[in-house]
Every structure is written in C-alpha cells, then in structure tokens.
Amino acid sequence: MFAGRQANSRHVMTSKALPWTRRLIKFSERNPKGLPSTTVPGTSVSSTVADPPGPTGLSAIILCLSRQRDPLRELGELARKYGDIVHMQLGSRHDYLVNHPDHIKKILCAPQSEMARSTPPGLKRLLGSGLLTSQGDYHRRHKRLLAPAFHRELVRQWGSTIVTECERLRDCWQDRTELDVEYEMLRLTLAIVLKVFLRVDLKERTDEIATAANTLIQMIHCRTLPVIDDLLDKVALGRIRRFKHARDRFDTIVYRMIRERRASSSPEHDLLSALLQVQDEETGSSALTDQEIRDEVVTMLIAGHETTAHALTWTWFLLSQHPQVELKLHAELDSVLNGRLPVVDDLESLPYNRMVFSEAMRLYPPVWIVARRNPNAWSLGNYTFPPGSFIFLSQYLIQRDPRFFPDPDRFDPERWAPNAVTQRPRYSYFPFGGGPRQCLGEGLAWIIGLLVLASIGQRFQFSLVPRQQIALEPLITLRPKYGMRMIANRRFHSAG
Ligand code: HEM
C-alpha cells in the first residue's frame, strides 16, 4: 500500500537557466550520486537527476495549499500515492516527506551538522533560543547544562508533587460534573511543571500563566509552508499585536520569578535553581544570562505542559470509547493500589496503565510532525536531497501505518505487550523523537502521564457529553478542535 512509485526526473538547465534553477545546476554539478550528467558546459541542453516521486506542477501547488487546511489527510494521501519518500517542489523549495522507520532513524540520528531542526517561525518568536529552537554548538552546550536537572533520580523525586496536584484536582470534581477535559488537563500539567520546574504554587499565577500560554500556542499555527506563514504575519497586524501582548505578559511573569529567585537565600532543588547555578568553567561566574534562562524556562513550560496535557486528553477520550479497555485498566488500578494514591514505585506494577498511554500516543501523538533541514546535499537511498530542503517525518503517519500496526485505527493496548513491541522496527513509533534532538523531558512525561492516569483513573471515569464533536486540530500539538467536554463519573466501586 505504501510501496514507492516511479521516480520523477529533475530537469536541470545549464547556464541560460532561470535564477531558481541555477541552484539546482550547482547542486547537480556537486552531486556525485545523481544520474550521470550529459550536460555540455555552456549550452542549454538539459540533463536529468532522479527525484523521488511526488506531485508536480499545479498539483504540487494545490497540495501545498490544501496541506494548510487538512494536513493529516493530505500527508496520508501523499504517502499512499507516492511511497516512502515523497518529493514536492514549489519554486526553488524542495520538500520531502519520509515515511519508513529505517529512513526516519537515519534522519533523526544524523549529526546536527547534517540535519538541523526546522521550527515554525512563530515558535522562535515565542521561545527565543531555548533548546527547541536553538542549533549547533549553542544547542549542544545548553542540552549538556540542562541534562542534570532531568536526571532519572531527580525526576522520580517529583512523583509526590505530581500526585498531590492530581489529588487536589480530583477533589474539586463532584460526581457527574461536566468538564472540558482538555482545559482541565492543560491546567493540571501546567500546575505540575510550574511546581517541579519553578516551585511556584500560587493558584492565581498558574491561571495567569495558563491564559498567556494558551493564547500564545493558539497563535503559533504549525504551518508547514513558511512562505505563507511569513506572508500572513505581514498582513495580520492584529494577530501580531495579540501575540506580542501575550508574549510580554508571559515574559513579565518569568523574569519576575528569576529576579525573586536570584534575591532569595534559600536555593531550591528545581530546574530554575539548576539554571541559575550553572557556572562558566573559566570565569566561575554565572554561565547563563537572564535572557538565556528565560528562553529555557519558557521552552520547558511550553514543551512540557502542552504535550503531556494533550496525550492525557486523548487517553481519556479513547478510554471513554472502549469500555473493555477501561474495565481492565480499572481492575489493575484497584488491585495494585487498593484505594491508596500511587507513587512512582507503583508504576512498574501497573503495566496495563503504561500500555494504554503508549497506545493513546500512537493514535494521537501530541507532536504529530517534525521537520529537518539539511545544510548540505544529503543522500537517502538512491536519492540526494539538495541543500536547504525541508524534510518532514510524521509520527501521526507512521504510527498508523498498517505495515507496522495492523488494523491501525483500532485502539488496542495489547500492541504494547513486550513480545509485540520487539517485533516492530524502533522508529515505527517515535512520539518523543530520537537522536541528538530527542525530547529532554521524555522520562518526566512518562511519569506525569502514568501518575495522572492512575490517580485520576482510580477515582473517576469519563464519558463524552452527548453531541460532543470530535475533530483533530494539528497545531504545534495535536488538539481536539472543539475541546473535549466530558462527564466525570465518580467510581464508587473503587476502594479509592
Ligand atoms: C507526552 C509528552 C511529550 C511529548 C510527546 C514530547 C515530544 C517531543 C518531541 C517529538 C521532541 C523532538 C522534536 C524534534 O525532533 O524536532 C521533543 C523535544 C523536546 N521536548 Fe518533549 N515531549 C513531551 C514532553 C516534554 C516535557 C515534559 C518536557 C519538559 C522538560 C519536554 C521538553 C522537550 C525539550 C526541551 C525538547 C527539545 C530537545 C532538543 O532539541 O534537544 N518535553 N519533545
């Protein structure tokens, strides 16, 4: 079904070519892996370089535009029609969609000098030079400096904080309360990351930051076509004003926290303290400026709460649609926990809990696409990508590929039984990415996700409100387009 189709030919003109084709000439001359050139220097005879198959001409333009409307469907159709490596060219821009675990591994695990992360422009404007948006030596240095703050043991210590926040939230809910579960999960995970990163525990601040963060995220639409994104930004002045206002509010809060912490005499064991204490090896002074700390803190808050909240929202939705799975999960929670709140050490005894969360992130990966750019010509299989190409890898696509997940749209946590997992290629599932840009918070995300599922799932069961429309909205994360209104039903059978 996803087998590759016929390759296109890239026609390369010689010296009299139009400006945008000149780049290709240079590329083909430097490209030892392209088809042998038959070009005679100084003439306008054309030669051919093999390109992967993909839409051409008008159909490429139409596809680019429709990708803005319904990217998930369009990506699926591209892969079905053209195979594992799809090429699309619009002017001088080359886009590739790559959809095979072996290729995905090669791209994700390539050194950063060969494959750089490409991020939407809006994200850079919000996050500055945090880990998500920075590149090269700067990124490597910061990732090394931040890694100790995410050490496994430290993350485990955050377990009780996470469960306390869950308990606080579930105590606010009455039996049969109608809730927007997406909103509740966003607030919960924000409260958790604020607590574990900054030791902030003021309800009004959580609300203030949640509102600012939400406004910002809604505005950074994950457009895969920067040309259109830039254009829209130029004309949509109102949108820019709202974005700047929300970002300024967000910054005011974070800088205030940095100032307060620098002035405080009692160091905390959290991310902010770790960042403030990082010293320059030569001078012994603080290695990170306030601006650098702000960028990393905002990156962690955005990357950490949005993603985890949506993974949980989709998990509650899937459970509400699959009563047998839900029953099995409840049985596990009740027998292992017997009504008490979970601790991190319980997670090993709750394998089904983990299988459910894994399967939910397969069907609804919070990060549904990642993009890379190759500074130099780069070869994959028989093809060579010109420098500066955009290469897209989609978790949503590969994780629903029937070659690796039979009956792919079915929610089936049994796919995550240990012997089933070992039969699949590693990169048929990559919700947390891989290689040098692998998610820094993966360990923390699992602990938050599993503890929230266990501590809320032991007390409440959710059902969709009648006529709730469910549709996907692929922004920076994969969101439910119309929210997720659900009824929270108290589980009286549970001992909890
Ligand atoms: C379910 C939750 C999460 C998911 C699905 C997720 C997913 C991802 C993915 C796919 C990437 C790599 C993007 C790429 O390759 O271009 C990434 C990077 C990152 N994530 Fe997460 N993430 C989650 C939670 C978290 C949490 C809790 C944190 C908190 C610190 C975090 C911090 C980061 C950072 C800092 C990066 C950038 C790493 C780098 O570029 O070196 N994430 N995440």
CA–CA gap between residue 126 and residue 427 (Å, rounded): 30
- Quote the tokens at residue 440: 């820094």
**pLDDT of the residue at 260:** 84
- 195 bridge partner residues: none
**Nearest protein Cα to ligand 1, atom 43:** 439
Name the pLDDT band for 196 (thresholds 50, 70, 90). confident
pLDDT at 377 over 60: yes
pLDDT in tens, 18-75: 232 233 223 333 333 333 333 333 333 334 458 899 988 777 777 676 666 788 988 8
CA of residue 494 to ligand 1 center, whole Å: 34
For the chain, the residue count is: 496
For the segment 79-100, the average pLDDT, to the nearest whole number, is 93
CA distances (Å), origin 121, targets 128, 224, 226: 10, 10, 7
Name the pLDDT band for 371 (thresholds 50, 70, 90). very high
pLDDT at 230 over 60: no
Mutation to probe ligand 1, out of 138, 308, 370, 439 (largest number of atoms < 8 A from CB): 439
CA–CA gap between residue 250 and residue 213 (Å, rounded): 7
**Nearest protein Cα to ligand 1, atom 31:** 441
Task: Give the atom of ligand 1 at the shortest distance from the alpha carbon of 477.
Answer: 5
Task: Give the atom of ligand 1 at the shortest distance from the alpha carbon of 117.
Answer: 16
pLDDT in tens, 441-481: 999 999 999 999 999 999 999 999 999 999 999 988 999 99
**Binding-site residues, ligand 1, Cβ < 6 A:** 117, 131-132, 143, 299-300, 303-304, 307-308, 311, 366-367, 370, 431-433, 437, 439-441, 444-445
CA–CA gap between residue 269 and residue 154 (Å, rounded): 9
CA of residue 307 to ligand 1 center, whole Å: 8
**pLDDT of the residue at 252:** 86
CA distances (Å), origin 248, targets 8, 12, 132, 230, 475: 48, 48, 20, 21, 22
Phi, psi of 113 (to 5 degrees): -65, -20
**Nearest protein Cα to ligand 1, atom 11:** 439
For the segment 219-230, the average pLDDT, to the nearest whole number, is 47
**Nearest protein Cα to ligand 1, atom 30:** 441
Task: Give the atom of ligand 1 at the shortest distance from the alpha carbon of 296.
Answer: 35
CA–CA gap between residue 227 and residue 218 (Å, rounded): 19
pLDDT at 217 over 90: no
Most confident of 99-103, 128-132, 259-263: 99-103
pLDDT at 4 over 60: no
**pLDDT of the residue at 303:** 87
Conformational region of residue 407, where left means phi above 0, alpha means psi within -120 to 50, and beta covers everything else: left
Task: Give the atom of ligand 1 at the shortest distance from the alpha carbon of 119.
Answer: 16
- Quote the tokens at residue 336: 């292992």
pLDDT in tens, 133-152: 999 999 998 898 888 878 88
Better pLDDT: 397 or 1: 397
Better pLDDT: 88 or 127: 88
Q: Identify the structural domains of the chain with CATH numbers, from first to last.
A: 92-490 (1.10.630.10)
DSSP per-residue codes, 478-495? EEETT--EEEEEE-SSS-
Better pLDDT: 178 or 8: 178
Long-range contacts of 22-30 (CB under 8 A, 24+ apart): 23/92, 23/386, 24/49, 24/92, 24/386, 27/377, 27/386, 27/387, 30/377
What pTM was computed for the model? Answer: 0.86
For the segment 408-421, the average pLDDT, to the nearest whole number, is 97
pLDDT in tens, 337-351: 999 999 999 999 999
For the segment 277-283, the average pLDDT, to the nearest whole number, is 70
CA of residue 441 to ligand 1 center, whole Å: 6
